[in-house]
Amino acid sequence: MSTLASVEGPPQRQDRRVRKTRAGLGDALMSLCAEKPYEAITVQDIIDRADVSRSTFYAHYVDKDSLLLDAFRGLRAHSTERDEPGAVGDELFGWSRELFRWTAGVIGDFGGEAEAFRCLMLNPACVLVVSELEQEIETLSRADLARVADRRPEHVPRVVLGFVVGAFMSILSWWLESRDRRSPEEIDQIFRALVIPGTAAALGISAPEQKGTPSLVLSS
């Protein structure tokens, strides 16, 4: 009988215990990722850090990869409203909010948990996390591009999707790795300055001129 199955008590109490245990395991993995490469971390390391038994670990996860994805999704869980359009005003690239409505929210989430995401995104062994984020960004991009270009989602060109996803991941990785002090809003502006013109041209979307737009100076 599994640990979860043997726990007695009302469902709500069990849910709290499950959440607490999983959070503890996730925190343990995050702290270990900050200390050594992901591939060097063992399940024993995780349960020792979380102070739980091996049977408890396997009652929740099949391996450390499943824990990694769950921990990453937990970090991202608070961004459920990221695809809501923000207010479009006269600010820099304000007109483009209708094209990519989710970028500011996603970038802001990474800024709020910079150290945790830095450990995950920049660890070559954490390819599952990168793949998970790329799929999320592709889904969000496909929906926005289809809506704005008045196309069916499956008719959005793969090359355009690949361009948007690749640019976003590159900018996000650069921001985390370089520890650049720009705000999430400024990083969002950089993304739009680099991506919007080419995307708009490829899809035949009219992009209004932005008079008086200041340059966004980037360092190597």
Residue 43: Cβ-neighbour burial (10 angstroms; 0-12, 13-18, 19+): middle
Q: Which residue has the tokens 């709500």?
A: 12
Is residue 190 within 8 A of residue 216, CB to CB? The reply is yes
d(CA 13, CA 167): 44
- The dihedral formed by the CA atoms of 147, 148, 152 and 154, expressed in degrees to the nearest 10: -100
- Alpha-carbon span 178 to 209, nearest angstrom: 31
> What are the residues whose beta carbons fall under 8 Å from the beta carbon of 40, sequence distance 6 or more?
none
C-alpha span between 188 and 179 (Å, rounded): 15
The structure's pTM equals 0.70
pLDDT digits (tens, 9 = 90+) for 109-155: 777 666 777 777 777 777 888 888 899 899 989 988 888 888 888 88
pLDDT of residue 52: 94
Domains of the chain: 11-68 (1.10.357.10), 80-203 (no CATH)
